Structure 1
C-alpha cells in the first residue's frame, strides 16, 4: 500500500513539475488562441446562431401540428347538456383535439428565407475566419514582444558584466594613481543606471507574458513561459511581388471583402422577402376534435305525474284543444370515457387564402427600407475594397521600410561595436576618461536594442503582408 501511495505522489509531482516547466512555442500559442480565445468563442456563437436560423428556415416547410386537451368543472346555474334545461349543478366536461396546418404558398418567402439563412451562416463563417486571422496576428505580435523584452534584458545583462569588469579595473587604476577618482564615480553611476534598466526590463517581460497569457485565455500567469528562441529573418520573397499583386490576392482571399459581399447579398435577399408580402398566402388545415362529459345520458322517457299531458295545438273550427303525452326523460349513468370520445369526435379540413389589400403601406415601406439597405451594403462593399487597398499598401510599405530599417540598424550596430571596442582599448590604457567610455557603451547598447527591435518589427510586418497575400494563418512560417 505504501508503494502505491509513493507512486501516486511521484506521478502527481511529476505532472505538476511538467506543468510548471511547460514552455510555449509561437505555433502552440496561435493554435491554442484559435481554440480558446474569448473573442473567437464569441464569434463562434454567432456561427451557431446562424445555424439555428437555417434550421428555423427549414422548419417553415414542415407542417405545424398541435394537440390540446382540457378538463373543466362548472358549478352553479348552467345548462344541462343532456336535457337542455338550466339548473344548479356541478358539471365536468373534457375535450381534446389535434390540429395541423401547412403553408402551401406565401410568395416563395419560405424558399427565400432558407437561402438567406444559408447566406447568413456563410457571413458568420467569414467573420470567424477574420477574427482568427486578427487573433493570430495579435498573438504573434505579443509573442514577439516577449522575445524582444527577454533579449533586451540579455543585452543589458551582458553589458552589465562588462561594466562590472571595468569597475574593478578602474578601482585598481584609481588606487594606483593612474586614473582620477571621478572615473570611478562615473563607472559606479553607469552600473546603477544599468541595474535600474534591468529591473524595468524584467518587469516588462512579466507584463508582456501576462498580456500574452490573457490573449490565450490562460490564467496561470506565474507558470506561463515561452520558448526562448531566436527567430531568424527570412521569407522576404513575398516582397518580390508588387503591391498591386498583393492587393489582387487579398481581394480574392481576405474575409473583409467576403463579409461585405455576403452582406450585400443578404440585403438583396431581404428585398425579395419584403416583396413576397405582396402575394396572397395559401394554407391548408386539418382539425380533429372530440369530447366527453360526466353528465348523465337519456335512457328513456316516462309520463310526468304532475302534468301527464301538454297542449300542442288548437282546432280552429271546433276550438278543440289538441294534447299529447307529456314525458320527461329518464337519466342514466354516462357512457364510458372511451365510448364517448369515439361517438363525439369530428374532423374539419380545408384551405385558407389571405389576400393582402391594404395594410397602411407597411409592405411598401418595408420594401423601400430593404432597397435602401442594399445601397448601403453596396457602399460598404466599395468602402471595404478601398480600405483593403489602403491597408495592403500600408502593410507592404511598412514591411519594405522595416526591412531597410533592420539592415540600417545592423550596420549601425556593427559600427558602434567597433567604436566600443576602440573606446574600451583606449580606456584600458588610460587614453580616455570614464565618461567618454560610458557614452560609447550607451551608444553601443542603443544600437543593439534598436537592431533587435527592428528585427522583430520586420518579422511581424512581413507576416501581415503574407496574410494579405492569402497564406493561411496556420501556415505562416516564423
Structure 2
C-alpha cells in the first residue's frame, strides 16, 4: 500500500515541478535582463546624478539665505557695547541676524551651467539606452544559442534511437544468416559514439541555458525554458538596401551616435563656462543684526533688540585681473577637450560604418552558406535513405551504412548551425536599420 501511494504521489509532484518552469520569450528575456543588469542599474544612477546636477544649476539662480545667533560670556576687562565703555566685570551678550546674497551677474555662468546640466541628462539617457541596446543583442545571441543547441540535441537523440533500431535490425539479419556476426560491431561502436554525442549535446544545451541565466541573473537555470517552437527561416528585404543606406539610417537613431553629438555640445558649453571666468561678476547682499546685553540695569529684551538692530546692504563688484594664468589655461584645456571629443565622434561613426559593412557582408555570406548547406543536406539525406534501404537488404556492409549515416548527421548539424548563424546575423543588420529585435519563435 505504501508503494502504491508513493508511485501515485511521484507523478503529481512531477506535474507541480513542471508547472514551476517559466517559459520565456525573447522579449521577456530582454526585458528581464534590462531590469536586472547591474551595469544598467549603475547607468540609471548616473542619470539620477545628472538630474540632481540640474537641480543644483537651477538653484544657482536663487538667493542664499542664512541666519545666525550667538550667546557669549565676557569675564574681566571688556567693552560694554551698550555704553561703549571698558568695564571689569562678568557680562553676557546675545547677538542674532540674517543675511541674503544673490548673484546679479557672473558672466552668464549660471545660464551655461543650466544648459550643460540639461545636455548631461541627455547624454546619460543616450548612454543608458545604448547599454540597453548592447544587452539586447547579447540576450538575443544567448537565446538563439539555446534554440540551436536544443535542435542539435533533438537530432542527436533521434539519431540515437535510429541507431538502436538498426542494431536490432542488424541482429535480425545476422540471425537470418545474411550478415556475419562481425557486422554488428560497427553498429555497436556507432551506438556508443551516438550516446557520447547525446551527452555532449545535453551539456552544450545546459551551458547555453546557463549563459542566458547569467545574463538574466537567474540563480537556477533549470527554472526556465525558452519559447522554443519550430519555425521557418525568416525572409527579410534588408539586403535590398546597400550598406551606405543602412549606415545613413543608423546615424539618425543610434544612441551611441546621439551620445557623441551630445558630448560635443557639452564640450562646447565647457568652453563658454571657462571664458565666463574672464568677465567681472556683480553680487548683491543684505544683512540684518541686533544685540542683547544681560545686566542688572539693562533695558528689556524688546527695547534692546529694537535699539541695537542694524542693517547692511549693497553691491559687490569683482573684476578678474590676473590669477596666475589659471583661467586662460582652463580655456585651452576645454578647447583641446572639444577637439578630442570631435575626433572620438568621428571614430564612433567610422566604427559604426565598419560594423554595418561587416554585418552586411556577413549576412550575405551566411545566406549563401545556408543555401549551400541545405542543398548538401537534401543530397546526403537521399543518399542516406538509399544506403539504409540497401543495407537492410544486406547489399551493403554496416561500415558503409555507418559512413553514410555520419555524413548525413554532419550535414544536419551543419545546416542547423548555418540556419541560426543566418538568423542572428540577419537580426543584427536589421537592428542597425531600426527594425525591432524579434525572432520567429518569439
TM over 0.5: yes
Q: Distance in 1 between matches of 2:363 and 2:263?
A: 32
Structure 1 match to 2:196: 196
Listed as ranges, the matches of 1:2-41 within 5 Å are 20-41=20-41
The Cα of 1:378 is off from its aligned counterpart by 1.4
Structure 1 match to 2:5: none
Q: Distance in 2 between matches of 1:88 and 1:113?
A: 55
My pick for the range that moved more, 181-190 or 376-385, is: 181-190
- Which of the residues 286, 300, 304 maps onto 1:335? 300
Per-residue Cα deviation, 1:50-82 (whole angstroms, up to 9, x for no partner): 211211111111111122223344556655555
Q: Distance in 2 between matches of 1:339 and 1:439?
A: 114
Listed as ranges, the matches of 1:37-436 within 5 Å are 37-74=37-74, 78-81=78-81, 84-87=85-88, 89=90, 91-293=91-293, 295-296=294-295, 331-332=296-297, 335-336=300-301, 338-436=302-400
SS in 1 for 2:291: strand
> Could you say if the C-alpha distance between residues 280 and 160 of structure 1 is closer, same or farther in structure 2, counting changes exceeding 3 Å?
same
Per-residue Cα deviation, 1:352-372 (whole angstroms, up to 9, x for no partner): 111000000000000001111
Q: Distance in 1 between matches of 2:240 and 2:208?
A: 33
The Cα of 1:471 is off from its aligned counterpart by 2.6
Q: 2:366·2:418 contact (CA, 8 Å) conserved in 1? A: yes
Q: Distance in 1 between matches of 2:309 and 2:50?
A: 43
SS in 1 for 2:222: coil
Q: Distance in 2 between matches of 1:26 and 1:41?
A: 21
SS in 2 for 1:181: coil
TM-score (norm. length: structure 1): 0.84
The Cα of 1:48 is off from its aligned counterpart by 1.4
Compare CA radii of gyration and give the structure with the larger one.
1
SS in 2 for 1:236: coil
Q: 1:403·1:458 contact (CA, 8 Å) conserved in 2? A: yes
| Gaps in structure 2 of 5+ consecutive residues | 1-12
Q: 1:133·1:473 contact (CA, 8 Å) conserved in 2? A: no
Q: Distance in 2 between matches of 1:273 and 1:206?
A: 56
> Could you say if the C-alpha distance between residues 132 and 477 of structure 1 is closer, same or farther in structure 2, counting changes exceeding 3 Å?
farther
| Gaps in structure 1 of 5+ consecutive residues | 1-12, 297-330
Q: 1:463·1:476 contact (CA, 8 Å) conserved in 2? A: no
The Cα of 1:389 is off from its aligned counterpart by 0.8
The Cα of 1:341 is off from its aligned counterpart by 3.2
My pick for the range that moved more, 173-182 or 78-87, is: 78-87
Q: 2:163·2:191 contact (CA, 8 Å) conserved in 1? A: yes
The Cα of 1:474 is off from its aligned counterpart by 7.5
Aligned-residue CA RMSD (Å): 2.3
My pick for the range that moved more, 77-86 or 194-203, is: 77-86
> Could you say if the C-alpha distance between residues 157 and 335 of structure 1 is closer, same or farther in structure 2, counting changes exceeding 3 Å?
same
Aligned residue pairs: how many?
427
Per-residue Cα deviation, 1:183-236 (whole angstroms, up to 9, x for no partner): 212211111111112112222222211221221233343312212222432241
The Cα of 1:477 is off from its aligned counterpart by 9.2
> Could you say if the C-alpha distance between residues 402 and 23 of structure 1 is closer, same or farther in structure 2, counting changes exceeding 3 Å?
same
TM-score (norm. length: structure 2): 0.90
